[in-house]
Amino acid sequence: MASSEWLTQKQNKEKEEKERKKKEERKKERKKEQKRQRKERERKKEKERKEKKKERKKARKKKEKRKSDKREGRESERRERESERCERRELEKREKR
């Protein structure tokens, strides 16, 4: 009888050891998966950050261009007015003669 008890104890220990190893393996796999997911999230966040930065840069350039165009428009209007004034002065001078 003692040998059969010893055999069942041995089998139980082996079974427990197998289960323990399985459990550890599952734990490792879960940890691996979590790490992979975390890295994936970080990559996604980084990509979004870069995209937002790109969009802000684009918007800033657009705004600067509008400002520049506006300034350019005002300057060209000023030049036009000046040239008109000069032309009028010339005409007035000619008329006086």
pLDDT tens digits, 36-46:
999 999 999 99
Query: What share of the chain in percent tops pLDDT 70?
Result: 98
What's this model's pTM, rounded to 2 decimal places? 0.53
- How far apart CA 19 and CA 7 sit, in angstroms, is 18
Read off the pLDDT band of 1 (50, 70, 90).
low
- Alpha carbon of residue 42 to chain centroid: 11
> Token pair 């104890």 is at which residue?
9
